[in-house]
Every structure is written in C-alpha cells, then in structure tokens.
Structure 1
Amino acid sequence: MKFFMEKWQSFFSSDYLKFSEEILTKDRTNDELQFLINNLELTGDAKILDLGCGQGRISIPLAKYGYNVTGLDASRDLLEEAKNRAKRESVSINFIYSDMRNMNYLNEYDAVINMGTAFGYVERQQDDEITLKNVYRALRPNGVFIQDLDNREAKVNNYNKQSWYYMNNKFVWNQREFNYLTGRWNEIIKWEEHGEEKEFLLNLRLYTASEIIHMNQISGLQLRDSFGYFNNQPYSATSPRMIMKYQKSKGV
C-alpha cells in the first residue's frame, strides 16, 4: 500500500542523524539494551523485530548479544547508515526498507521492539492502529511487544515554547507547541550550516497511557507491565518515558 508524502519522511534524514545521537547517547542505548535483555527474557537465538530501527542503534548491540535481529525502517538514509555500522561491527542483521503499515509477517518473531518514540508520526490514528495489528500478526503466540514512547503528561507540562541551545556544535532554535484537541506535538527546529539556514519539522501524535494501551488491546496485545524509565521505575505522570510491555494472546 502506498501513502501520500507525510511530514516524518523529511524529518528522518541525514540531518536527523547528526542531532539524534546527542540525545540518544551511548549511555542511554546501554540502559535500553540492558532493559530489553532483562524484560524480554529470551534465549540468545530468539528472533526480534526492531520496528523503526533507524541507524541500528539498538539492532546492532542486540545482534552482538546473539539474537536473530531484523531491523525495519522507512528512512533510506538511516537504513544505509545502519547497514554501514553493522558491517563495521561484523554482525549480520536483516535490514528491511518498509513502512510499518505495510509489513506483512505472520507468527514469525519472539519479540517486537519499538524504541525511542518511533511511533505516532503518521497523520491518522487509524494508520497507527494498522501498525499495531501488524505487530500482533508478526508475533508468535505469547510473543512480547515492548513500546517505548515519550511520556505525554510529563512532556506537555514541562516545555518552553521557544528556546536556543547548543547541539552538534551548532546553535539551534526551537519553537514547540502542543494541540490538546488533536494530541499532536509540533516542533520547528532551525540552525545555520555553512552560511545557510536549515530547518526541519518534528510532528507526531503523543498518546496518553490509556489511549495507547487501548489501541494495543484492540489489536490483541495485552498489557503485562509498564515502566517510567529503563531502570524499571514505575510509570507515572512525571516519569521520563512511557514504556509498555505487551504480550500476544495464544492463537494467530
């Protein structure tokens, strides 16, 4: 199925790669990796689908740990970087260029992971629901789905509408706003590079905990646990992250 050009397609580019890893640091990646190993409770040869794998930040260390990893993403720039990094690290990962809404696996994976807020960028909630139904189908019976998202409550109650900060050796200007009617977060990011002003737009749906739990449940995924960060702290309205652990019910 083909979809019209959406805002996220220009956001997840080589420019995103330059800035993202100053937020998604090595220390945070290590915390995420340990969290996943502890909470997935899988054998070393289990099959894992990294949904929205980006530059392979999580896929590669999971593969080095011994898991059979597939990384799926719809950004050619990020997937190319992921392939280059996997080659340098001498790990074998099946990287797939695809929109999440188009994936078509059936009872194939022991676990699906969706880390670093790699969800909610599409224009319609119905399309996010399609992705979750695809996750359900992709999992084997009793398979686990871990979804790591921004904590909407904490994010929308603690942000500056405009700010300057220094990032990636550049001064960056941000303008942020949240629409309580649509649930969408809109962030304009501007900086100067080689004498030229550059800009990209971050636009995504921030779901409440009850909304995202309900969407997963109607897809057949049952909530098993919730966390507020990768140290297993409980989820709350003020926690840094919103991490949900689901399990596929028995059957197809």
Structure 2
Amino acid sequence: GSALLDLCCGPGRHAVEFAKKGLAVTGYDFSGEYLEEAAARAKKKKVSLRLLRGDMRGLKFEGEFDAAVNLFTSFGYFPKFSDDLRTLKGVARALKPGGLFLLDIINGDFLDNNFKARDWHEQGDHYLLEERTDDRDGVFNTWTRIPKKGGKILERSFFTRKYGKKRMSAALLKAGLKPLKFWGGFQGKPLTSKSIRLIVLARKGR
C-alpha cells in the first residue's frame, strides 16, 4: 500500500484506521507513552505500524511518503514561528514528489472572532478552568484541573499560534507545499471565519 506518515500520531487512533485500509503507516510522536498505546492498539486490531519517537522539528525522512497527515490540532505550539516552518519543511522533505499533506488545526480567524479570557467546564470528578491571554501571534493558555473532592490541583500552560487561511497558505508555500483546498470541518463544509476547524490539503511540487 501507499506510504503514509502520521505526524504526532498520539495513541494511534487514526494510524490504526489508516493501516486497516491497507496503507503502510509510520506513526511519529514525541511521547513514548502514546507510542506504547499505539503499539498495543495496533496489536489488538491486528495491523502493522512502524512507530518512531522524535521531535517533529527534526524529521529525517527523505522522499519516503506518498502522503502525510497532522490531525487534531497537533501543530502550532512552538513559541517561535521558525520552529513551525522547520516542521513544515521537514514534512515537505519527507514526501515524494507530488505527495500530499493534510493538516487539521483550530481556525485562527475563529479564535480572533470568539475570544474568551476564561471558561469553566465540569468534567466528571473535576472542574477545568481555562484562562487565556490573546495577542496577534497566538493565545497563551493556562488550564487548571481542580478535583471536586479535594486532592492535587494540576496546572498546565501552553501557547497556540493562530493560523487563518492567509497565514497558513503563506507558511505552507514557504515550506515548499502548495495549498490545494481548505475546509471548515471534516464534513466538507467551506472554510469561513465562523469555522472552528481549519483543514487544508497541500501538495509537494513534482
């Protein structure tokens, strides 16, 4: 089957489904725990995955894949734009001439139009407080997990760079990937400023 790179494959939910379709899937992730979960999932579903651990900024592949995917907002967390560009250039190098890249992220234009500085969520046995600080480049997030019945309060901070259609197109082109089509969701809806997701299909030059 065709060779597919699942970049930031996580616990292998998508990678296993691709493998079931007959693709030769390489799952790549920074988390060893996620890769162990992916291996267990593949074994349970009786499919074969090649699983590799590494930093997405340091991809070493050269013209190996027919296609690559990066799904469920696994892109745009590095403080420097140059790191995002390094990642995209690594994807371009990894693809064969004419290879395709599908990227799925939060729509930056939606974030601009629907910014909330604070949100509370009730999730099972805990509450989740989401606090955000917005600037032109992205959003600084702090998530605080508060148990309902006492216990350790957990806090996590991270940055998300905002990519709308224009900015994403420019970044892809700079990396050697030509955007072919944008969508506002996996149902195939057109991308608008009201779309929560931004999905783009790009191609490496032949």
TM-score, normalised relative to structure 1: 0.77
Q: 1:189 aligns with which of 128, 134, 143?
A: 143
**1:95 and 2:12 are equivalent in the alignment:** no
Choose the corresponding residue for 2:193, options 233, 237, 241. Answer: 237
> Structure 2: how far apart are the matches of 1:172 and 1:153?
25
Q: Secondary structure at the match of 2:203?
A: strand
Q: Are the aligned partners of 2:109 and 2:163 in contact in 1 as well (CA < 8 Å)?
A: no
**Correspondence 1:69 to 2:1:** no
Identity of matched residues, %: 32
Q: CA deviation at 1:213?
A: 0.8
- In 2, the alpha carbon distance for the partners of 1:79 and 1:89 equals 15
Question: Shift of the alpha carbon at 1:202?
Answer: 2.9
Could you tell me which runs of 5 or more consecutive residues in structure 1 were left unpaired when the two chains were aligned: 1-44
Q: Does 1:110 align with 2:76?
A: no
Cα distance between partner residues in 2 of 1:230 and 1:141: 26
Cα distance in 1 for partners of 2:87, 2:141 equals: 24
Q: Which has the higher strand share?
A: 2
Report the Cα distance in structure 1 between the residues aligned to 2:194 and 2:146, rounded to whole angstroms: 34
1:57 maps to what in 2? 13
| Structure that is richer in helix per residue | 1
Q: TM-score, normalised by structure 2?
A: 0.93
Distance of aligned partners of 1:207 and 1:63 in 2 relative to their CA distance in 1, 3 Å threshold? same
Q: What root-mean-square deviation, in Å, do the aligned CA atoms of Structure 1 and Structure 2 show? A: 1.4
State the alpha-carbon separation in 2 of the partners of residues 70 and 191 from structure 1: 33
Cα-to-partner distance string for 1:39-74 (whole Å, 9 max, x where unaligned): xxxxxx111100111111211111112111011111
Select which of 88, 105, 114 maps to 1:158.
Answer: 114
Distance in 2 (CA, whole Å) between partners of 1:164 and 1:50 is 32
Deviation at 1:118, TM superposition (A): 0.9
Report deviation, 1:173: 1.3
Give structure 2 stretches of 5+ with no counterpart.
Answer: none
Give the corresponding residue for 1:21: none
